[in-house]
């Protein structure tokens, strides 16, 4: 049976909580389907908005008002590490298959921490004020950072993580933003990427100036601007990127349909409409009557898009029905403002491919080897080591250009080791090689060298193949074309085996 969970985190409560939740609990694992309820907790954490990141193995929580990140192990259910930083961390996000944690700082810089190696990359101070939110596209190629200075920067993650030196003669720093989106007039509160992997993917940004802007982040262009009715606090796109949902300061939610006005898919990319601001109607704004939810701080969407989860200042987690546009129920009441909600992938699919590696323990960042954007000296830190467990057998590299790589994850040695006797392929290869050793050499084709009366061959024979000597031995001196073709095929097969062994020896030498 499929099951779906989400993780909620709270910030510091303004007053003493009036709930039955365990003392010091700050992060909560909650089951949404099939049976709603709280399943586990992590203690001693107070997480500000946009400061929670969850991987398959760990939970990263930047502490509110502190320069500390707590790391919790999901498998063991306890706190694994406490990572101090040199300045306050204001937002978090994961990238590159959950192997890189991106942190925004109070001074306006970005930090990229490789959790499997300990390498720490730092950018220059690109924002004038604190970084308020981060968002990584589904391909882990682009990163967007929003700030209280009202700007959104677009970064290339590959350029930020590159080991290449920065050329001082080049004016453009490869670790600088590739685009700056500056249409907002207030602090950026949240960013939400679409689900696409192509060039048409979009991102939505919201600001305290009560606007929401849809961007083509690859080109750095604004596609559409919406004038909202209140200050937005959280935003999320629906499952097919046709609309987005906004949580307001007054506790209401609103659906903004990006294709409702025209109904055409190309309307979002109409340049004539880019400068015209649209205002969504109030009929798609939902209110929870007599619930006293408080300001909305976070949003989550179920995997199938049939349910919206919202976290509020009062500590309540509410469920909404986007199809009918109404409030459903209160899932839980936590002892503090629900500042973060992270939806987890559904579990229970029968044929889910496992991840290629598993991170049991994070490698703490090495501050003595911080890789800055100056580019002076060697950018490869000493003792650069990847620490993780591979969960399956690595596929061997194909060593022959003429053979199709096998889809099996087992090498030839593993297949022979686990076989009941000897694999048929190994026996056939051995017999073919033995047969090629006793095969008569190939004679040149008729007319190939008749003009000069000499024989040209690309191999050395240990037998005398001249017609005179062949006659002395009582064997025919000429062969048929069919025999020559058969001999050629055997010679080519033998050369391919020699080539395969040579390439394997070269690969082993490089590995050593």
**CATH value at residue 68:** 2.130.10.10
Q: Rounded distance, CA 83 to CA 363, Å?
A: 10
Tens digits of residue pLDDT in 335-347: 999 999 999 999 9
Q: Are residues 408 and 341 in the same domain?
A: no
Q: In terms of pLDDT, which residue wins out, 5 or 376?
A: 5
Q: Rounded distance, CA 198 to CA 195, Å?
A: 9
- When pLDDT is cut at 50, 70 and 90, the band that residue 390 belongs to is confident
Q: In terms of pLDDT, which residue wins out, 424 or 18?
A: 424
CA atoms within 13 A on the CB side of 266: 3
Q: Which of 229-238, 250-259, 342-351, 399-408 is predicted least confidently? A: 399-408
- 305 torsion bin: left (phi>0), alpha (psi -120 to 50), beta (else): left
Asked whether residue 375 is domain-assigned, the answer is no
Beta bridge partner(s), residue 234: 247
- When pLDDT is cut at 50, 70 and 90, the band that residue 454 belongs to is very low
Q: Rounded distance, CA 353 to CA 240, Å?
A: 23
User: Mean pLDDT throughout 162-186?
Assistant: 79
Asked whether residue 46 is domain-assigned, the answer is yes
- pLDDT, the chain, mean: 84
Closest among 237, 252, 204 to 305, alpha carbons compared: 237
- When pLDDT is cut at 50, 70 and 90, the band that residue 382 belongs to is low
Q: Rounded distance, CA 430 to CA 422, Å?
A: 11
- Indicate if the pLDDT at residue 368 is higher than 60: yes
Domain ends where: 299, 334, 369?
Answer: 369
Asked whether residue 378 is domain-assigned, the answer is no
Contact (CB, 8 A) for 26 and 43: yes
Contact (CB, 8 A) for 157 and 185: no
Q: Are residues 261 and 333 in the same domain?
A: yes
Q: Are residues 402 and 357 in the same domain?
A: no
Max Cα separation, the chain? Answer: 112
Closest among 202, 191, 195, 192 to 269, alpha carbons compared: 202
- 495: containing domain: 395-511
Closest among 328, 298, 296 to 314, alpha carbons compared: 296
Contact (CB, 8 A) for 301 and 309: yes
Q: Are residues 400 and 357 in the same domain?
A: no
Asked whether residue 386 is domain-assigned, the answer is no
CA atoms within 13 A on the CB side of 371: 24
Closest among 355, 400, 394, 430 to 55, alpha carbons compared: 355
pTM: predicted TM-score of the whole model, two decimal places: 0.76
Tens digits of residue pLDDT in 28-67: 999 999 999 999 999 999 999 999 999 999 999 999 999 9
Q: Are residues 219 and 262 in the same domain?
A: yes
Asked whether residue 380 is domain-assigned, the answer is no
Residue with tokens 């992997």: 197
Tens digits of residue pLDDT in 397-440: 555 555 555 555 566 777 777 777 778 888 888 888 777 776 55
Asked whether residue 377 is domain-assigned, the answer is no
Q: Are residues 487 and 399 in the same domain?
A: yes
Q: Are residues 185 and 253 in the same domain?
A: yes
- Indicate if the pLDDT at residue 297 is higher than 90: yes
Asked whether residue 127 is domain-assigned, the answer is yes
- Indicate if the pLDDT at residue 445 is higher than 50: no
- When pLDDT is cut at 50, 70 and 90, the band that residue 485 belongs to is confident
CB burial string 459-473: b at 16+ within 10 A, e below: eeeeeebeeeebeee
- Indicate if the pLDDT at residue 391 is higher than 70: yes
User: Mean pLDDT throughout 193-204?
Assistant: 91
Q: In terms of pLDDT, which residue wins out, 193 or 368?
A: 193
User: Mean pLDDT throughout 390-401?
Assistant: 65
Q: Are residues 355 and 417 in the same domain?
A: no
**Structural tokens at position 35:** 């049976």
- Indicate if the pLDDT at residue 89 is higher than 70: yes
Q: Are residues 425 and 347 in the same domain?
A: no
Q: Residue 122 to residues 98, 103, 130, 242, 309: CA-CA distances in angstroms?
A: 18, 10, 15, 36, 34
Asked whether residue 68 is domain-assigned, the answer is yes
Tens digits of residue pLDDT in 488-498: 888 888 888 87
User: Mean pLDDT throughout 258-270?
Assistant: 70
- When pLDDT is cut at 50, 70 and 90, the band that residue 264 belongs to is low
Q: Are residues 200 and 239 in the same domain?
A: yes
DSSP state for residue 364 in the 8-state scheme: P
Q: Are residues 353 and 453 in the same domain?
A: no
- Residue 403 is predicted with a pLDDT of 56
Domains identified in the chain, total number: 2
Domain ends where: 332, 352, 369?
Answer: 369
Q: Rounded distance, CA 112 to CA 417, Å?
A: 43
Question: What share of the chain in percent tops pLDDT 90?
Answer: 56
Q: Are residues 91 and 216 in the same domain?
A: yes
């Amino acid at each position: 049976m499929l099951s779906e969970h989400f993780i909620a985190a709270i910030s510091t409560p303004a007053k003493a909580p009036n709930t039955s939740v365990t003392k010091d609990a700050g992060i909560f694992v909650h089951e949404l389907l099939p049976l709603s309820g709280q399943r586990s907790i992590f203690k001693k954490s107070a997480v500000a908005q946009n400061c929670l990141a969850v991987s398959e193995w760990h939970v990263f929580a930047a502490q509110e008002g502190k320069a500390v990140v707590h790391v919790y192990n999901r498998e063991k259910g306890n706190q694994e590490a406490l990572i101090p930083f040199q300045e306050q961390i204001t937002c978090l996000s994961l990238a590159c298959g959950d192997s890189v944690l991106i942190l925004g700082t109070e001074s306006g810089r970005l930090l990229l921490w490789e959790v499997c190696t300990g390498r720490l990359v730092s950018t220059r101070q690109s924002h004038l004020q604190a970084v308020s939110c981060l968002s990584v596209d589904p391909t882990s190629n682009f990163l967007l950072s929003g700030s209280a200075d009202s700007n959104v920067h677009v970064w290339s993650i590959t350029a930020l993580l590159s080991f290449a030196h920065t050329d001082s003669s080049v004016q453009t720093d490869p670790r600088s933003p590739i685009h700056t989106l500056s249409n907002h007039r207030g602090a950026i509160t949240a960013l939400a990427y679409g689900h696409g992997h192509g060039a048409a993917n979009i991102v939505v940004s919201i600001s305290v100036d009560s606007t929401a802007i849809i961007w083509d982040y690859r080109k750095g262009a604004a596609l559409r601007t919406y004038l909202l009715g209140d200050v937005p606090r959280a935003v999320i796109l629906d499952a097919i990127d046709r609309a987005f949902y906004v949580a307001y300061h007054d506790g209401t939610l609103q659906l903004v349909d990006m294709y409702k006005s025209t109904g055409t898919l190309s309307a979002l990319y109409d340049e004539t409409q880019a400068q015209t601001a649209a205002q969504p109607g109030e009929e798609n704004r939902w209110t929870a009557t007599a619930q006293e939810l408080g300001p909305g701080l976070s949003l989550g969407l179920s995997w199938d898009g049939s349910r919206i989860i919202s976290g509020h200042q009062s500590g309540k987690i509410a469920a909404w029905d986007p199809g009918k546009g109404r409030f459903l129920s209160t899932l839980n009441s936590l002892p503090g403002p629900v500042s973060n909600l992270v939806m987890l992938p559904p579990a229970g699919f029968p044929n889910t491919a496992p991840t290629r590696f598993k991170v049991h323990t994070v490698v703490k960042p090495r501050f003595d080897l911080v890789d800055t954007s100056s580019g002076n000296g060697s950018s490869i830190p000493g003792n650069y080591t990847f620490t993780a467990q591979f969960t399956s057998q690595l596929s061997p590299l194909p060593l022959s250009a003429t053979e199709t790589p096998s889809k099996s994850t087992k090498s030839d040695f593993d297949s022979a080791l686990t076989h009941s006797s000897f694999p048929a392929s190994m026996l056939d290869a051995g017999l073919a090689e033995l047969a090629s050793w006793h095969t008569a050499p190939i004679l040149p084709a008729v007319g190939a060298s008749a003009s000069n009366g000499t024989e040209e061959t690309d191999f050395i024979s240990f037998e005398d193949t001249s017609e005179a000597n062949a006659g002395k031995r009582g064997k025919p001196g000429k062969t048929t074309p069919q025999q020559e073709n058969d001999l050629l095929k055997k010679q080519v097969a033998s050369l391919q085996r020699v080539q395969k062994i040579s390439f394997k020896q070269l690969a082993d030498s490089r590995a050593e």
